[in-house]
């Protein structure tokens, strides 16, 4: 028996690997790394605090004192088009259109020590290395690449709070591991306010860096361990002017000196290596302290078995991915599971293993009864990502609402997050869409906290009169165009958010609040110029702005969109919108025009975040404001056009290749749209319990719900041309609605779609 | 009975005030604030973490890119010569010759808001105000001044961790309290690495600032409460270049905006005031967090009774001062109790009320079983301040050794403090004199921690081969002059320190360590040029430096001193020194020359820290290296000359007036010299249990020892001319030694000096 046991364990081990690779093989983290996706290919655990990924450049935010537009391309640190890697850093946003992070960039090298990254066109100028996609592997939780300049194989994996590097060196008595503490994504002078490093032993260093960037006051603590003692080490300080540091000048701080601090520092650790010798580096992060970083490291990543740590994180990924099992084409499976992967990256855990985290008040708090998260890109993710979590990740979404409430309580401004970012509010984008996330979660029974307190937080957030025209919006029903460059989109977004608050109030039996907010929910009518049938900037005197361009995205009163797209942004009252726009027929025709127009070339020249590929007619999928629009054909009484457009978008905007995403993935929102739509339904109005029916692209799907029930989707006669629903049955009974409730899904059951190549017009 | 009680309480209250003022009235915190003393006049509790004191200017460390020599005068923030006050800040060093601190400067004003301090010659240019010494009161724990420009009476008091301001305003609807978060003592661009402030309510703000100065990485957290809600508030950001701060630009952050961060910030809080209306401000500090600062505030300074808080801190002072009760002239009492006051200011408590503090590793630690201290200016204070504590403050000195050991354990460089400074080592001055403090405390039975660990810490500290020539010192017995500008003084200081380690080793029975360190203790002989009888720089080849100037303090191998003074720096082996210098007669003659020489004027032009008044002949009392030298006449067999010189120094170097100190008080070292010498004895060689007898200037003294015994000193026939000891008795028995042991003092008893006007030559 004793002899048998190891063999049995090996069998179990092999079986679990085989099972994992079932779904894992469909995840391709390289999708979205070219052109507009802004995803990163490196290693992360589900919702992990560490995102360990290669950076192909660290270009400056400013050139000659002006914004460098190229920096935008490097939001995720990695560009598939690039030929060189500067190193592997530990924090990355997934799919954003603005950035930060890139903490603690590590790069292994061999030969003469170089302390600058050098230039891409000549890697000999610095520590960067050429690489080839032929020698690159990206999986969920694992990344591997050969660094051609050094003949080093770099492998990366991660736990929730620890990044693990494994570098296979050639034989050398001049091998180095560079730790670049000054570089970052969206880099500029003075971004680092302080860096501190302590060499505790020849295998351990700890420290922190504080930055002032997109997050105004952000500190990341770290603990770093090497599997082999370094034989020597040193630092280089790149400060233009040596800031006075008292009598530390007594020392040569550049060589083997264990106390290091400054604003612009890089370090190197030196080794002798044998051919193929593997050196592992583990880097744990903490929002609280070096002590906690070390605790995270020792708790999550003891030992030096890289393969085991890789296996553990891939087990976690498999568990997450297998919450929905689909049958579909191989290509579709890659799209689907890569989308699942991208939806389970953000928000990120922002808490140490002992429950401590830094709050918005910059104090240390202990999360009791929940996991604290950050990286809430809510303008994007309230639309489909958080609704998706309410179905498949309710525990995490519950924790995210708890995190938002902690943000609200700790923040001197007493508001729910707009963009929660490492104990900071970065105020990116518009609206107060946290109220939608909160309302949706409470209405769907997901939030376990104090619902009344949450409603009050929503109300307080929606009444910040000084924030982006809210005072005018409350007083006049709209934001005058003279006072804001985004007066129309803000008015529209507030109106939707207010509707979400109203729904929450109704759920809690607060009739007066419901009525107040339902009035505000109708404010979208204030910016609808019925004479032209479009949303339009309105002046203080009540008149509409003259010289108005329906297509332009600049100076017309909208953010990340034009009037053509934003005029449909009444996700909460589509029927009323249709009526105001002249009824079902006119509304349908207007949707037709949107999807079929031909945009002039100059439109693209001045629009960020999207490419021609991100657009269908005039419908912009690459940005979020119109994500619900294809589903409005259901409102217009032409569900077959919803079905056709959804399938067209699924096919055009999501392709299983590095440049396959038609726009920024935006912390999973684009991917969440994919998952919903490929399954055949979409949350048109988060805050209601109703999903709108589209056209599924899978052949079959089983949702393993957290209540241990399953909801099945079966698609009969699926095929590329068969995008039109001919018939549906729910649990064997004919189903004639083009919508389905949250309860129907969560109760389990089976929805069967019968597809055909011709529209079924009732 | 019930009716009687309040009356009784009032009586007790009055009695305690009366008792307090007995000794308190002799403390004059203005002594040393003019010329060289570098003391501050403001309010602090004994060893308090807060030193709330007026700053008369905040001049820049650099002018046109070069060191501004005037900055040196402002080490303590306040210059008695100045006519204006810029505000009241919360941290100050007492008597240093270099500086930092000046955190959170507060200034009340009336009238048009001014956000710059303005210039001294025209106070209308800024928020500073003229003041007059006629309207100024400084007591232990209390400071009061009238701000002439605003007709505001400002009063200050403090608890250990809280500064309390009471401002009596005139009637105004335009009253302000300025909070200058950017100013500091020794101020320069980039000194602030980050400032964060959170307005929690109209009566409370919290925040922190991190500086990079004499301490390289120093963060001070604060919590500030106002007794009256401000009607409005705002900030001004003085950054030359607005560093990118994401989308915070959406807001007008300058007015009534509660989340504030940056590098150069001042805030204002606005009030309506009635005639004579008092507004109180409490500011608590913490090394750990805003949360802890608030806890400190609420624990130590609840309520708004300024008078009560003043009374409490003065009770604490009275308790400390009454540890030695003297009879002497009124002038002598002022000198004595002001010296007592100055010795009980530093080191400072560096720990919150819950025991938490920031360690050298920048992690948060909890002190268990001791109070953690910082501000160890050890090059100064090992000589007399810590020995004084071993007699009269052994519990605190024990805690200080614990703090030094924590420093050693937490510091990546594994060394005992040179200059411990707010979770930092600032490396100011030379030697590793902590070993003296540790050895003295253990030898005198004061340290309760692990003595062997302490010995090991001393040994490790003394073997940092890369630190200031220690490697060469160990190998060659001296530091070659080519390698160091302070090769001689370092060699001498190390030799003394090594002797202290040897004494500790002997105490612990470590004979081999004792022998090793006794060898090193003799290294002073390596730099003694016997051909001239002076300590002299020695080159690698063993020869002595040519072109040598015995008087100059620059480029001759000494720090803060010349060969004339340093040649006597063998406090541990004075007899051997005397022998090497040619025996008793020559040694005595050399001392005579030192005390009687006439220094040329050019000597003073190039010497910092001292004035002509700080010098007697060539003996420099204003700096520390020769503090033991007057007592060497005892070694030379001429104790009457020790007696005469000590009395001369007491009279000349310590006078009860603002410019009464002959040199920087140096965190209490100068004052500790005064106390010892005025009582008639001095610790010639800390690390031994023997004090050298001088000539007491008091008439009578009772030392209330911590073991509840008393040691009495009585001086018969005391008088200005009667400086010579004719006879001594100890406990009634004739006492013929010119030294006394620590045990003799601590056992209690009475030493009677019989004085006369003529030397008693045995």
For A558-587, letters b (16+ CB in 10 Å) and e give bbbbbbbbbbbbbbbbbeebbebbeeeeeb
Sign of the alpha-carbon dihedral angle for B407, B412, B415, B417: negative
pLDDT at B573 over 80: yes
Residue B453, CB-side half-sphere exposure with 13 Å CA sphere: 12
A-chain residue closest to B61, CA distance = A244
- The A residues from 273 to 292 touching B (CB cutoff 8 Å) are 289-291
pLDDT at B623: 86
Cβ within 8 Å, pair A213-B246:
yes
pLDDT at A19 over 70: no
Q: Which of A196, A214, A468 minimises the CB distance to B246?
A: A214
Task: Verify that A266 and A386 share a domain, yes or no.
Answer: no
Q: How far is B249 from chain A (nearest CA, A)?
A: 9
Q: How far is A207 from chain B (nearest CA, A)?
A: 8
Q: How far is B440 from chain A (nearest CA, A)?
A: 27
3 state SS for A251-275: CCCCECCCEEEECCEEEEEEEEECC
pLDDT at A21: 57
Q: Does any CB of chain A come closer than 8 Å to the CB of residue B508?
A: no
Q: Is cis: bond before B347, omega within 30 of 0?
A: yes
pLDDT at A243: 63
Task: Verify that A433 and A517 share a domain, yes or no.
Answer: yes
Average confidence (pLDDT) over B702-726? 97
Task: Verify that B555 and B604 share a domain, yes or no.
Answer: yes
- The B residues from 217 to 276 touching A (CB cutoff 8 Å) are 217, 241, 243-248, 250-252, 258-259, 261, 263
pLDDT at B402: 98
Of B428, B430, B436, B363, residue with least CA distance to B404: B436
Q: How far is A236 from chain B (nearest CA, A)?
A: 17
Task: Verify that A258 and A364 share a domain, yes or no.
Answer: no
- Rounded CA gap, B105 and B116, in Å? 12
Please give the order of strands across the beta sheet that includes B690-693.
Answer: B681-682, B690-693, B739-741
Reduce the DSSP state of residue A544 to 3 states and report it.
strand
Average confidence (pLDDT) over B488-509? 98
In a domain, A648, yes or no: yes
Contacts of B362 in chain A (CB under 8 A): 196, 198, 208, 290
- The A residues from 391 to 450 touching B (CB cutoff 8 Å) are 411-413, 425-428
Question: Residues near A552 by Cβ (< 8 Å), separated by ≥ 6?
Answer: A562, A603, A606
Task: Verify that B216 and B308 share a domain, yes or no.
Answer: yes
Confidence of residue A609 (pLDDT cuts 50, 70, 90): low
Of A410, A421, A345, A349, residue with least CA distance to A379: A421
Task: Verify that A186 and A289 share a domain, yes or no.
Answer: yes
Cα separations (Å) of B369 from A60, B399, B403, B447? 51, 9, 11, 12
- To test the contact with chain A by mutation, choose from B210, B223, B259, B560 the residue with the greatest count of A C-beta atoms within 10 A, namely B259
The answer to whether residues B261 and A230 touch, using CB atoms and an 8 Å cutoff, is no
Contacts of B259 in chain A (CB under 8 A): 411-413, 425
Q: Does any CB of chain A come closer than 8 Å to the CB of residue B193?
A: yes
pLDDT at B244: 65
Q: Which residue has the tokens 């165009």?
A: A481
Q: What are the φ and ψ backbone dihedral angles of B575, each rounded to 5 degrees?
A: -65, -45
Q: Which of A217, A263, A289 minimises the CB distance to B363?
A: A289
The answer to whether residues A419 and A426 touch, using CB atoms and an 8 Å cutoff, is yes
Output the average pLDDT for chain B: 94
- Rounded CA gap, A530 and B107, in Å? 59
pLDDT tens figures, B111-131: 999 999 999 999 999 999 999
Average confidence (pLDDT) over A307-331? 97
Confidence of residue B63 (pLDDT cuts 50, 70, 90): confident
State both tokens at A324: 């929905």
pLDDT at A7: 46
pLDDT at B11 over 50: no
Q: How far is B62 from chain A (nearest CA, A)?
A: 11
Q: How far is A594 from chain B (nearest CA, A)?
A: 32
Q: How far is B448 from chain A (nearest CA, A)?
A: 28
Q: Which of B216, B241, B258 minimises the CB distance to A248?
A: B216
ipTM: 0.94
pLDDT at A6: 46
pLDDT at B608: 60
Of A684, A670, A582, residue with least CA distance to A633: A684
**Structural domain that includes position B40:** 29-312
Q: Which of A191, A258, A427 minimises the CB distance to B413?
A: A258
B-chain residue closest to A251, CA distance = B467
Reduce the DSSP state of residue B363 to 3 states and report it.
coil
State both tokens at B127: 């928020």
Q: Which residue has the tokens 């590590």?
A: A106
From A300, A320, A340, give the residue that closes a domain: A320
Cβ within 8 Å, pair B251-A466:
yes
In a domain, B318, yes or no: no
The answer to whether residues A348 and A47 touch, using CB atoms and an 8 Å cutoff, is yes
Q: Does any CB of chain B come closer than 8 Å to the CB of residue A471?
A: no
Cβ within 8 Å, pair A244-B213:
yes
pLDDT tens figures, B82-110: 999 999 999 999 999 999 999 999 999 99
pLDDT at B240: 80
pLDDT tens figures, B613-631: 778 999 999 889 999 999 9
- Rounded CA gap, B130 and B56, in Å? 10
pLDDT at A676: 98
From B256, B280, B312, give the residue that closes a domain: B312
Q: Which of A190, A196, A241 minimises the CB distance to B243?
A: A190
Cβ within 8 Å, pair B258-A412:
yes
A-chain residue closest to B428, CA distance = A247
Query: What element of type H or E holds B386?
Result: helix B385-392
Of A426, A440, A467, residue with least CA distance to A687: A440
Task: Verify that B335 and B298 share a domain, yes or no.
Answer: no
In a domain, A61, yes or no: yes
Average confidence (pLDDT) over A8-22? 48
Confidence of residue B65 (pLDDT cuts 50, 70, 90): confident
The answer to whether residues B670 and B388 touch, using CB atoms and an 8 Å cutoff, is no
Contacts of A241 in chain B (CB under 8 A): 190
3 state SS for B529-553: ECCCCEECCECCCCCECCCCCCCCC
In a domain, A10, yes or no: no
Cβ within 8 Å, pair A198-B361:
yes
Pairing of β A681-682 and β A690-693: antiparallel
pLDDT tens figures, A81-94: 999 999 999 999 99
Q: Which is more confident, B602 or B451?
A: B451
CATH number for the domain including A296?
2.70.98.10
In a domain, A353, yes or no: yes
Cα B49 versus chain centre, distance: 13
Cβ within 8 Å, pair B194-A217:
yes
Of B295, B257, B207, residue with least CA distance to A217: B207
Cβ within 8 Å, pair B245-A206:
no
Task: Verify that A260 and A394 share a domain, yes or no.
Answer: no
- Rounded CA gap, B82 and B181, in Å? 23
From B312, B336, B355, give the residue that closes a domain: B312
- Rounded CA gap, A79 and A162, in Å? 24
How does DSSP classify residue A411?
-
State both tokens at B646: 């000590």
In a domain, B20, yes or no: no
- Rounded CA gap, B231 and B269, in Å? 8
B-chain residue closest to A244, CA distance = B213
B-chain residue closest to A202, CA distance = B412
Q: How far is A521 from chain B (nearest CA, A)?
A: 24
Between A195-204, A245-254, A336-345, A397-406, the lowest mean confidence (pLDDT) is in A245-254
Q: Which of B245, B291, B364 minimises the CB distance to A212?
A: B245
Q: Which of B289, B425, B427 minimises the CB distance to A363?
A: B289
- Rounded CA gap, B700 and B681, in Å? 14
pLDDT at A16 over 60: no
The answer to whether residues B40 and B33 touch, using CB atoms and an 8 Å cutoff, is yes
pLDDT at B17 over 70: no
Q: Which of A216, A361, A425 minimises the CB distance to B198?
A: A361
- Rounded CA gap, A119 and A128, in Å? 8
Cα A294 versus chain centre, distance: 27
Q: Which of A246, A428, A466 minimises the CB distance to B216?
A: A246
Rounded to the nearest 10 degrees, the angle between the axes of helix B434-443 and helix B385-392 is 20
Strand partners, A60: A187
pLDDT tens figures, B335-354: 999 999 999 999 999 999 99
Sign of the alpha-carbon dihedral angle for A201, A205, A206, A212: positive
- Rounded CA gap, B75 and B38, in Å? 6
Q: Which is more confident, A503 or B66?
A: A503
pLDDT at B605 over 80: no
A-chain residue closest to B253, CA distance = A466
pLDDT at B196 over 50: yes
Q: Which of A248, A290, A364 minimises the CB distance to B427?
A: A248
pLDDT at A11: 44
Task: Verify that A220 and A180 share a domain, yes or no.
Answer: yes
Q: Which residue has the tokens 């977004």?
A: A493
- To test the contact with chain B by mutation, choose from A209, A232, A247, A483 the residue with the greatest count of B C-beta atoms within 10 A, namely A247
The total domain count for chain B is: 2
Average confidence (pLDDT) over A377-391? 98
Of B206, B204, B208, residue with least CA distance to B221: B208
pLDDT tens figures, B135-185: 999 999 999 999 999 999 999 999 999 999 999 999 999 999 999 999 999
pLDDT at B365: 98
The answer to whether residues B258 and A412 touch, using CB atoms and an 8 Å cutoff, is yes
In percent, the amount of chain B with pLDDT more than 70 equals 96
Strand partners, B619: B616
CATH number for the domain including A379?
3.30.2080.10
The number of beta carbons lying within 10 Å of the beta carbon of residue B366 is 12
pLDDT tens figures, B626-675: 999 999 999 999 999 999 999 999 999 999 999 999 899 999 999 999 99
In a domain, B623, yes or no: yes
Confidence of residue B19 (pLDDT cuts 50, 70, 90): very low
Q: Which is more confident, A277 or A616?
A: A277
State both tokens at A144: 């591997």
Task: Verify that B299 and B340 share a domain, yes or no.
Answer: no
In a domain, A555, yes or no: yes
Cα A283 versus chain centre, distance: 22
- To test the contact with chain A by mutation, choose from B212, B263, B365 the residue with the greatest count of A C-beta atoms within 10 A, namely B212
Output the average pLDDT for chain A: 94
Q: Is the pTM of this model over 0.90?
A: yes
Task: Verify that B219 and B272 share a domain, yes or no.
Answer: yes
pLDDT tens figures, B22-51: 899 999 999 999 999 999 999 999 999 999
Cβ within 8 Å, pair A244-B191:
yes
pLDDT at B237 over 50: yes
pLDDT at A117: 97
Query: What element of type H or E holds B288?
Result: none
Task: Verify that B308 and B333 share a domain, yes or no.
Answer: no
Secondary structure (DSSP) of B128-180: -EE--GGGEEEETTEEEEEETTTTEEEEEEE-SSEEEEEEE--SEEEEEEEEE
Q: Is cis: bond before A347, omega within 30 of 0?
A: yes
Rounded to the nearest 10 degrees, the angle between the axes of helix A584-596 and helix A639-653 is 20
């Amino acid at each position: 028996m004793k002899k048998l046991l190891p063999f049995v364990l090996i069998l179990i081990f092999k079986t679990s690997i085989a099972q994992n690779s079932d779904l894992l093989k469909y995840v391709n983290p390289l999708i979205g790394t070219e052109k507009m996706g802004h995803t990163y290919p490196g290693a992360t655990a589900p919702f992990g605090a560490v995102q360990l990924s290669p950076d192909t450049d660290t270009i400056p935010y400013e050139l000659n004192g002006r914004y460098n537009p190229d920096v935008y391309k490097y939001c995720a640190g990695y560009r598939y088009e690039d030929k060189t890697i500067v190193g592997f850093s530990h924090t990355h946003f997934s799919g954003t259109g603005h950035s930060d992070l890139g903490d603690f960039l590590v790069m292994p090298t061999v030969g003469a020590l170089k302390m600058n990254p050098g230039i891409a066109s000549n890697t000999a100028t610095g520590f960067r290395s050429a690489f080839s996609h032929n020698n690159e592997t990206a999986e969920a939780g694992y990344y591997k690449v050969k660094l051609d300049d050094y003949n080093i194989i770099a492998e990366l994996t991660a736990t929730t709070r620890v990044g693990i590097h494994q570098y296979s060196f050639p034989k050398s008595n001049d091998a180095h591991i560079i730790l670049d503490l000054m570089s970052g994504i969206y880099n500029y002078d003075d971004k680092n306010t302080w860096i501190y490093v302590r060499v505790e032993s020849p295998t351990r260093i700890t420290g922190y860096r504080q930055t002032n960037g997109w997050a105004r006051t952000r500190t990341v603590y770290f603990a770093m361990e090497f599997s082999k003692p370094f034989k020597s080490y040193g630092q280089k300080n790149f400060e233009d002017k040596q800031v006075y540091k008292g009598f530390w000048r007594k020392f040569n701080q550049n060589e083997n000196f264990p106390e290091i601090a400054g604003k612009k520092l890089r370090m190197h650790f030196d080794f002798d290596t044998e051919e193929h010798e593997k050196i592992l580096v583990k880097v744990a992060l903490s929002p609280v302290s070096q002590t906690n970083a070390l605790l995270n490291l020792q708790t999550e990543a003891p030992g030096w078995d890289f393969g085991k740590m890789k296996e553990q994180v891939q087990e976690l990924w498999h568990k997450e991915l297998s919450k929905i099992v689909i049958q579909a084409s191989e290509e579709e499976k890659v799209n689907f599971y890569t989308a699942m992967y991208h939806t389970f990256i953000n928000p990120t855990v922002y808490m140490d293993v002992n429950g401590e985290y830094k709050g918005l008040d910059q104090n240390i708090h202990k999360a009791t009864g929940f996991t604290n998260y950050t990286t809430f890109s809510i303008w994007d993710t309230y639309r489909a990502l958080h609704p998706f979590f309410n179905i498949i990740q309710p525990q995490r979404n519950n924790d995210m609402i708890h995190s938002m409430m902690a943000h609200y309580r700790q923040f001197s401004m007493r508001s729910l997050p707009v963009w929660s970012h490492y104990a900071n509010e970065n105020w990116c984008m518009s609206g107060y869409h946290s109220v939608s996330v909160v309302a949706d979660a409470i209405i769907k029974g997901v939030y376990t906290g104090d619902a009344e307190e949450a409603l009050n937080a929503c109300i307080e957030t929606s009444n910040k009169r000084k924030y982006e025209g809210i005072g005018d919006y409350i007083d006049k029903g709209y934001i005058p165009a003279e006072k804001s460059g985004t007066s129309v989109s803000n008015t529209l977004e507030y109106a939707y958010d207010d509707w979400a608050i109203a729904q929450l109030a109704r759920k809690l039996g607060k009739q007066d609040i419901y009525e107040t907010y339902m009035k505000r929910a109708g404010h979208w009518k204030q910016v609808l110029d019925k004479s032209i049938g479009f949303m339009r900037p309105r002046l203080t005197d009540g008149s509409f702005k003259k010289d108005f361009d329906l297509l332009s995205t600049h100076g017309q009163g909208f953010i990340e969109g034009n009037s053509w797209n934003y005029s449909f942004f009444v996700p909460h009252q589509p029927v009323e919108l249709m009526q105001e726009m002249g009824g079902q027929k006119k509304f349908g025709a207007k949707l037709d025009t949107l999807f079929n127009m031909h945009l002039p070339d100059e439109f693209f020249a001045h629009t960020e975040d999207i490419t021609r590929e991100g657009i269908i007619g005039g419908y912009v999928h690459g940005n979020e404001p119109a994500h619900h629009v294809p589903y409005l054909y259901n409102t217009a009484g032409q569900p077959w056009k919803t079905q056709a457009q959804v399938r067209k978008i699924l096919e055009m905007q999501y392709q299983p290749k590095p440049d396959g995403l038609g726009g920024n993935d935006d912390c999973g929102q684009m991917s969440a749209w994919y998952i919903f739509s490929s399954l055949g339904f979409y949350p048109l109005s988060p805050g209601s319990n109703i999903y709108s029916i589209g056209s599924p692209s899978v052949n079959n799907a089983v949702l393993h719900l957290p209540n241990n029930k399953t909801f099945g989707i079966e698609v009969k006669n699926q095929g590329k041309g068969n995008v039109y629903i001919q018939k549906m049955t729910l649990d064997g009974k004919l189903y004639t609605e083009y919508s389905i409730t949250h309860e129907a899904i969560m109760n389990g059951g089976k929805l069967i779609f019968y597809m055909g190549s011709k529209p079924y017009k009732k």
